[in-house]
Amino acid sequence: MPPNASDHGCEPEHLQPRTRRNTTLLNVGCLLASTVIDFEAAGGVAFNNSLSVAWWNGGLLNRTLAALRPGDTLRFPRNKTFHTMGGIMAKGLADVTIDFSGRLVFSNDIDSWPRRHNGEVLEALTFDHFERVTFTSTSGEGLLDGQGPAWWGLPGIGYLQRQENRPRLFVMGQGKDILVEHITFRDPAYWTFWAHGVDGLVVRYSSISARCVHGIVRAGSGLGSGLGDALRLA
């Protein structure tokens, strides 16, 4: 991680007015300000796979997620590809929508991937204690790309080198009433989707594409594993 990487990009409270569109909705008798935040308009850089941009987009995404309020929608615009570093984390969000209408591609720079002090890599996306959150793609073309081939390496040898120290693509923990739909999960480095301690989870109209150059589905890239309490798949 470059020095002060977490300080790059605009802070959530300083999102430019043009990045937020306000409407009003009625929720359980209370009026909530509903805001659509366009990730590119907020400072996200599209169509650039450089390492510096991956860190920029990753830092901005973490800060933008942390700033979401009930009723907000974070949207990755259609036909745009954003390269980002892993280690995207958010906690405690409620009544928000994350719209992957565009494509989110995680860095294939293994050496630069963020790690814990013990050397374990961070997951690509980690969401904890979410309630009534929807992950969707209004374009129907949402894509989360883990760039697995960079982690898999040569057949057999790559797995021996890294074993299980590879990032899961999507992790959801201790949530309630979560909807995941219309998203393609491509080439996860490790597990595709791991949800644990979730009460009321619906995953629908989504697909997984995880194949090596020889067209063989890689091991350890399935949907599910530890999908706990009150799980519902449709």
Residue 106 and residue 68 in contact, taking contact as beta carbons nearer than 8 Å = no
Indicate yes or no: pTM above 0.85.
no
| The pLDDT value given to residue 61 | 98
Q: Determine the Cα–Cα distance for residues 154 and 46; give it in Å rounded to an integer.
A: 30
Mean per-residue pLDDT, 7-35: 44
Which of 93 and 28 is assigned the larger pLDDT?
Answer: 93
On the 0-12 / 13-18 / 19+ scale of CB atoms within 10 A, 100 is buried
200: three-class secondary structure by DSSP: strand
* Structural domains of the chain in order of their starting residue, each with its CATH number: 13-233 (2.160.20.10)
Q: What is the mean pLDDT of the chain?
A: 81
Residue 84 in this model has a pLDDT that exceeds 70? yes
Q: Find the Cα–Cα–Cα–Cα dihedral 148, 74, 138, 178, rounded to 10°.
A: 80
Q: How far is Cα 224 from Cα 233, in angstroms, rounded to an integer?
A: 10
* 158 vs 77, residue with greater confidence: 77
Instruction: Report the pLDDT value the prediction gives residue 152, as an integer from 0 to 100.
Output: 85
Which residues does residue 104 pair with via DSSP β-bridges, in sequence order?
82, 144
Q: What is the mean pLDDT of residues 92-111?
A: 97
